[in-house]
Amino acid sequence: MKYSTIPSLFHLSIFVVLIISASASGEDDQQEYSNSDPTYSTMPEEPRSPLDHYHLSFNYYRQTCPMLDEIIHKKVRESVAKDRTLAASLLRLHFHDCIVTGCDASILLDHEGSERKAGPSKTLRGFQLIDDIKAELEKLCPKTVSCADILTAATRDATVLLGGPYWMVPYGRKDSRTSIAKVTDSVPMGHESVTSMLELFQSLGLNVIDLVVLSGAHTIGRTSCGSIQHRLNHLNGTYDPVIDDKFLDFLQRKCKCESENEYVDLDATTPNTFDGQYYANLEKKMGLLYTDQMLYSDSRTRPIVNTFVQNPSIFKHQFSVSMVKLGNTQVLTGPNQGEIRTNCNFANSY
């Protein structure tokens, strides 16, 4: 598959702004959101929107579980206050769920042969928080709120708590009844080419801007030393040339052995803050994962990276747009599709 060259930086900047302006997540519709407890109010009936295509709605639980957002926010705030690394873990958990079979909470099913038991999922975290939220909601709104909706909203709230943008989450997803480990073979592991990443994203209805923007989630979080060894010591004895010498020296000292228990920050500069520093790091050859650094080396993605380096605020706005798109990927909403699990770890037995 061939991809056309991205336009000049000037035209790209205008293009990105136009996409933001036209997005269904609508900045005009966003409510003020802070790290303190927000005041939740009943929203008016919304007009028909592009969300109708997915059969999702911002008012889906307005009558059946009106305290949903408040409960999710409270639980996420309490958990992230105890462990700030949990925010990045939720982002990763949500991505792993959506990127293979769509946002259907299949990653949460806990049985032999499930996605959760597969190799690419072995370092995922955040399951207990989703279970805690679900248990609270089952007390107030039994058999009503899907695990897929909980994970999607909890990811948004965790992102905001670390300084990321707020976006409105439409609801109405159902939970998958099945989960198969084999599908995780398509989960990116950090060594893919830009072309293969583009093909994966396009197969999900996402585009090149979404690829660069969602990769920016690596402004927070960590990865194991074992996952970057191929960049530090190649089989022929040479290291990855697309890496800053001082950064390479730091990583080689930090990751002396191929350990899965030793971790490195994905953003070496501001690892605990959701900002645009990730893109500035790529410019300095300090992208930790190969897939990250290649975004600056590839002519199709480099102009977008440059735009976010010069205008970090554009990245934050576009991140909310792309997260809405990711969260709407291949959702189950039909009358004969999926279910509302009563326990996120297991499919219903009835």
Where in the sequence numbering do the catalytic residues fall?
A: 96
Annotated binding residue 100 = yes
64 assigned binding-site residue: no
219 among the known binding-site residues? yes
Ligand-binding site membership of 115 (annotated): yes
CB neighbour list of residue 160: distance below 8 Å, 6 or more residues apart:
33, 35, 166
- Other Cβ atoms less than 10 A from the Cβ of 208: the count is 20
Cβ atoms of residues 194 and 208 within 8 Å? no
Q: What's the Cα-to-Cα distance from 190 to each of 46, 126, 186, 218, 325, rounded to whole Å?
A: 40, 21, 12, 11, 22
Say whether 238 counts as a known binding-site residue.
no
Instruction: Compute the distance between CA of residue 293 and CA of residue 284 in angstroms, rounded to an integer.
Output: 10
Per DSSP, helices labelled H in the chain are: 9-22, 68-82, 85-101, 127-140, 147-161, 194-203, 208-215, 229-232, 245-254, 277-283, 290-297, 302-310, 312-327
To the question of whether residue 218 is assigned a binding role by annotation, the answer is yes
Q: For residue 270, say whether it is annotated as part of any ligand binding site.
A: yes
Transcribe 286-301 into DSSP letters: --SSHHHHHHHHSTTT
102 is in an annotated binding site: yes
| Longest alpha-carbon distance in the chain | 63
Give the angle subtended at the CA of 85 by the CAs of 302 and 31, to the nearest 5°. Answer: 75
Ligand-binding annotation for 224, yes or no, is no
106 marked as part of a ligand binding site: yes
Annotated binding site for Ca(2+), which residues? Answer: 97, 100, 102, 104, 106, 115, 219, 267, 270, 275
Annotated binding site for substrate, which residues? Answer: 188
Annotated binding site for heme b, which residues? Answer: 218
Annotated binding site, which residues? Answer: 97, 100, 102, 104, 106, 115, 188, 218-219, 267, 270, 275
